[in-house]
Every structure is written in structure tokens, then in C-alpha cells.
């Protein structure tokens, strides 16, 4: 695992939602490596956790459980400095036939939960003299997302929420930023991109010739949470390896 460099989070406290697996788990581990006391949450406890990371059961789609989670972390640690709203995801679903229940559930996981957690974090962050909230969005928020229309809409809403909260809460020294994550290599990559050959083709199409990793995301989270970014708020940081190649270029090449 790459070093967190000179960033020192000793004495600081963080919550990483969706931090029991995948990208969120790496983010939690890197924050803990830098000295931060980190709590991750989920509906079910993982078999293992990175060193320095603790787990609390919570379904943060429920505002009362989000409040209880934050209150428990503050009671245990005395403060809250960093909130990473990482929980999210969506199955593939045709927009014409997707049920209202599915649409609502995707919005609750990807947008509502971030609002509930941010609201719960506001008071303890204000009491601590400030804090950093980082919303993990997706390229689906800024380009068409066929097959996951509700997910794209939720992540677009998350970008808007980020800028609005940054404006409202800036006077309380609470910074709110968003990371627009690109095509990432995760434990469920096969479900999203296909087999190893398909994933390799996706990687070759990227300007940096690889897909993103949890460490790429974690590096941006660490920077946004640190004093190095103390005048950065309301920002949308693209962590996407240079972006996806425009498909029309391939069509032109076929002529």
C-alpha cells in the first residue's frame, strides 16, 4: 500500500460510509494509516477490517440510523473531522421498465444517505471548529448513463448538493467537496465491465492506460481532508485518469 506521505491525521476522526469493502475499504485503510480514527458502517459486519478501522452497523438510508451512527462515533471519540459519503451503487435496469421501488432505493442509497449523514455531521463538525465532507460521485453524473439512469441522476444530484452545502456551511469552516470517480477496478469489476479481456480493453482505452484503483481515490480523499486543501470547497475533482475516449473518434477512424 502506498505511503500517505507527510499527511498526519493523528487525533482526527473520520466516518467512511460503504467502507467495509471495495473502494471505500481502501479509503478507510489509508486514512487509518495516516493516523486517523476511522469508523466504517454497513448493514452487515465484514469478516475482517484494516488495522485502525472500526465497524458500526447502520443503514444510513434511514435518517434516524444516520444520526445514531454519528452520535455514537462522536461519543466514543469526542469529535468528528472527516465524513466520506462513499456508499452507493446500482444494478443495471432499463429505464422504461424499472419499478418505482427500484428508482427510490437507488436515490436513497446514492443521494439521500449522503444528505442524512451530512446533516448529522454538521453539529459536531461545527463544534470541532470545522471539518471536511467528501462526496464520492461518478462520471455517470456528468455524461449519459444508459442502463443506470437513476444512478446517474442521483450522482448528478450529489454534485449539486455538494456545491449548495459548501455555500451554506462555509461560514462554519465545514468544507464540502465531490470526487468524480472514473472507471475503477473493483472486486465487482467483472459485473460492470465484463471478463478480464474486456477489462484490459477498457484499460487500453484510457489516456493513462489503466483503470483507477482504491488508492487513486484514497489519495484524493486524503488531500481534500488535509490542510493542503483548506481553501478548497465546493469543488468537483475528477479522478478519472484523463477521462473516457470519445467514441466518435473510433467511428472517424473506421472511414
Catalytically active residues, by annotation: 151
- The rounded distance, in Å, linking the Cα atoms of 209 and 203 is 5
Distance of alpha carbon 160 from alpha carbon 109, whole angstroms: 16
Amino acid at each position: 500500500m502506498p505511503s500517505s506521505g507527510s499527511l498526519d491525521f493523528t487525533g482526527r476522526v473520520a466516518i467512511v460510509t460503504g467502507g467495509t469493502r471495495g473502494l471505500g475499504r481502501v479509503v478507510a485503510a489509508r486514512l487509518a494509516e495516516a493516523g486517523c480514527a476511522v469508523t466504517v458502517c454497513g448493514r452487515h459486519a465484514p469478516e475482517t477490517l484494516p488495522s485502525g478501522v472500526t465497524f458500526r452497523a447502520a443503514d444510513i438510508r434511514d435518517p434516524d440510523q444516520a444520526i445514531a451512527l454519528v452520535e455514537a462515533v462522536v461519543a466514543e471519540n469526542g469529535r468528528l473531522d472527516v465524513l466520506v459519503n462513499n456508499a452507493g451503487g446500482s444494478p443495471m435496469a432499463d429505464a422504461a421498465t424499472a419499478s418505482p421501488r427500484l428508482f427510490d432505493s437507488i436515490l436513497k442509497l446514492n443521494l439521500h444517505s449522503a444528505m442524512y449523514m451530512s446533516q448529522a455531521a454538521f453539529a459536531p463538525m461545527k463544534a470541532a471548529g470545522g471539518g471536511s465532507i467528501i462526496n464520492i460521485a461518478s462520471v455517470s453524473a456528468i455524461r449519459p448513463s444508459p442502463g443506470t439512469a437513476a444512478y446517474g441522476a442521483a450522482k448528478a444530484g450529489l454534485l449539486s448538493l455538494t456545491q449548495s452545502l459548501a455555500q451554506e456551511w462555509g461560514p462554519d469552516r465545514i468544507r464540502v467537496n465531490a470526487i468524480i470517480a472514473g472507471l475503477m477496478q473493483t472486486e465487482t469489476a467483472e459485473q460492470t465491465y465484463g471478463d478480464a479481456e474486456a477489462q484490459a480493453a477498457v484499460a487500453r482505452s484510457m489516456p493513462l492506460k489503466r483503470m483507477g484503483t482504491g488508492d487513486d481515490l484514497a489519495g484524493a480523499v486524503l488531500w481534500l481532508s488535509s490542510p493542503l486543501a483548506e481553501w478548497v470547497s465546493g469543488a468537483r475533482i475528477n479522478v478519472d485518469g484523463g477521462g473516457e475516449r470519445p467514441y466518435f473518434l473510433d467511428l472517424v477512424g473506421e472511414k
